[in-house]
Amino acid sequence: MPSRRETDFVHPRFAVVGHPNKGKSSIVSALALDDTVQISDTPGTTRKKRSFPLSVDGKVLYELFDTPGFQRARRVLSWLEKHDVSADKKHEVVRAFINEHKEDARFNDEVELLEPIMDGAGIIYVVDGSKPYGEEYEAEMEILRWTGQPSMALINHINESDYSEEWKRALGHYFKMVRTFNPMQTNIKQHMGILESMAQLKEEWIAPVKASMKLFEKYQEQMIERSAFLLARLLYDSVSTVEKLSFGTKDATKEGKEEIERKYKDTLRALEVATQKKIEHIWSHDHLKKEPDILPLEGMDLFSQETASVFGLTRKELIITGATSGAVTGAGIDLLFAGHTLLLGGVIGALAGGTGAYFGFNELSEVKVLGQTVGKRYLEMGPMENRNFPYILLGRAVYHVIKVAKISHATREIFDIRMDQTFKDKWLDDTVKKSLEKYHKKFRSGNTLGSGELREYEGLIRSILKHLIDG
């Protein structure tokens, strides 16, 4: 076992300790962004200490420990108090307690929670601020004082009632720092706030924990970037997707056309669902509980009128966007001819863009009958001609990312995406529409994208996500 002096020079460690069922695991889950931590209303869910290192390329910057709750605090304290020692020797008595009771099943939980502390971990003592303070906690706090390790208290609010003030008064006697933290409603700012407090526990920990804070911000950036990459790919793949269905009859039947439309829609739906899964993985939410067999986004189908009205553009908006985009292209031609076209290029571009948007408002894509002359006849549907579809799909995808990014890793309830009717206004202004339309047009054309083009689109989505997540 390393000596305390040795452990002082390794990365900072923090043991999250407290009474059973006070949200220790929730706090660890939220701070470690890990949704695999078992959290339940049943006390004693955590029986073994568990380490959650924050590492970058394998190098650990700090380590969090989830621990079982105190079970026989009074008995432990009584054992410690039997040893009449001066303050500088008290930690040795705690170590002696661990050594003597390592194999004693009665003190399994106490040994598990005290071990990391005696190995140099700072103490994060968790209490539930929504329940009244009780003197039974004092034995626990006294034991922690015996360890001599730097400590802070976190008041967790499990329910709505608030007993924070009485808790603060009591905890102030034992801890130099008392902070409030709700793991269910945490965001990056609160997360950083807690890390900042943890850094203050010991001077040597300030630099590594601050480095960890920067890393967390970088991690968040990474997750946003990876999400933007997936969303850009989803949009490109969905809009450019082409579905084929061969048929043996002389002419294409109505059923055939319906079948290819169904297949086409299913392909696009599958792309959306697959992307949602990947997004949840990126944000470490692989274990989100969802209602089984329910369509993504509150059962709103990708092709429903409802989803179009929530996420898509109105016909008027679409015409304006199409016309603006067309005018920009036309203006390029005018510029090429040094204005000798009397700005006709811009006018024609605007008209073409606006008319295309008007007529392409409802239809997804034309069902084409191909191969008539060659003999292998088949129906083809795609790429997507509906100009509204990319906005609908992107809107849904952005909405899903924002919801996943903001949900706490401590949540074990069913992931509920309540629709926000005003969501579109939060991210889709005229400038964004114009910028997006440029790329949507390219996706629809079926031409190969330049290596930079998809990345430019990705950059656009990244800035949208960043604005929504940080804002």
Partner 1 sequence: MNIKSYVDLYELLQVNPSTREENRAFGLTHVVVQNRPVEQLLAWIDSHKNTLKKPLLSETFSSYLYGVTLTLILIAFVLGLLSGAGLLSYSGHEPVNVIYFIAMVILFPLFTMFLTLLSMFRAGSSQSALVHISPAFWMEKILGFLPCKIQENIKAPKVNPLLANWVIIKRSQIIALFFSFGLLIALLGVVVTKDIAFAWSTTLHISPEAFQDFLYTVAFPWRDFAPSAVPTMELIERSQYFRLGEKLSEVMIADASKLGEWWRFLAFSTIFYAIALRFLMLLLSTLGLSRAVKQSFLTLNGTMRLLREINEPIISTHAKKREVAFSPNGKRYEQIVNTLDASYDSVQGWAIARGELLVLGDSIRMISPSYYGVGGGNSFEEDSEVIFKSHGEVLLFVKAWEPPTMDFVDYLNELTAKVDKVIVMPVGTVENNYETSNKEIDVWADKLSLLDDAKVWLKRSSAQTPSRETLNAEP
DSSP H helical segments within 119-202, as ranges? 137-147, 164-171, 188-199
- Which positions ≥6 away from 156 have C-beta within 8 Å? 22, 23, 26, 27, 126, 127, 128, 129, 181, 182, 183
Among 6, 8, 100, 136, binds partner 1 (CB under 8 A): 136
User: Judged by CB under 8 A, does residue 281 bind partner 1?
Assistant: no
Q: How far is CA 121 from the centre of its chain?
A: 28
Which amino acid, residue 169? R
**CB closer to partner 1 out of 38 and 99:** 38
**CB closer to partner 1 out of 78 and 305:** 78
Among 4, 7, 45, 369, binds partner 1 (CB under 8 A): 45
Shortest CB 322 distance to partner 1, Å: 22
**CB closer to partner 1 out of 37 and 80:** 37
DSSP H helical segments within 407-450, as ranges? 423-427, 430-445
Question: Which residues from 137-166 bind partner 1, rule CB under 8 A?
Answer: 138, 161
Task: Report yes or no: 187 and 162 within 8 Å, Cβ to Cβ.
Answer: no
User: Judged by CB under 8 A, does residue 222 bind partner 1?
Assistant: yes
Among 218, 287, 290, 376, binds partner 1 (CB under 8 A): 218
**How many residues belong to the site for partner 1 (CB under 8 A)?**
63
Task: Report yes or no: 417 and 405 within 8 Å, Cβ to Cβ.
Answer: no
User: Judged by CB under 8 A, does residue 219 bind partner 1?
Assistant: yes
CA distance 413 to 288: 8
Shortest CB 135 distance to partner 1, Å: 4
Which amino acid, residue 177? M
User: Judged by CB under 8 A, does residue 57 bind partner 1?
Assistant: yes
User: Judged by CB under 8 A, does residue 43 bind partner 1?
Assistant: yes
User: Judged by CB under 8 A, does residue 19 bind partner 1?
Assistant: yes
Which amino acid, residue 164? S
Shortest CB 145 distance to partner 1, Å: 16
**CB closer to partner 1 out of 216 and 247:** 216
User: Judged by CB under 8 A, does residue 184 bind partner 1?
Assistant: no
User: Which tokens sit at 427?
Assistant: 């991210």
Among 95, 168, 202, 226, binds partner 1 (CB under 8 A): 226
Residue with the two structure tokens 């809107």: 395
Among 165, 446, 467, 470, binds partner 1 (CB under 8 A): 446
Strands (E), 50-172: 50-56, 59-66, 122-128, 151-156
Cα distances from 190 to residues 31, 39, 179, 185, 186, in angstroms, run: 10, 21, 11, 9, 6
N residues, the chain: 471
User: Which tokens sit at 102?
Assistant: 């390592």
CA distance 168 to 162: 11
User: Judged by CB under 8 A, does residue 55 bind partner 1?
Assistant: yes
As to burial, measured by CB atoms within 10 angstroms (0-12 exposed, 13-18 middle, 19+ buried), residue 453 is: middle
Among 430, 450, 467, 470, binds partner 1 (CB under 8 A): 450
Question: Which residues from 65-84 bind partner 1, rule CB under 8 A?
Answer: 66, 69-75, 78
User: Judged by CB under 8 A, does residue 187 bind partner 1?
Assistant: no
Instruction: Print the binding letters for residues 85-124 with partner 1: x by CB under 8 A, - otherwise.
Output: ---------------------x--x---------------
Which residues lie near partner 1 (CB under 8 A)? 19-21, 32-34, 36-38, 40-48, 50-58, 66, 69-75, 78, 106, 109, 128, 131-132, 134-136, 138, 161, 215, 218-219, 222, 225-226, 229, 284, 445-451, 454-455
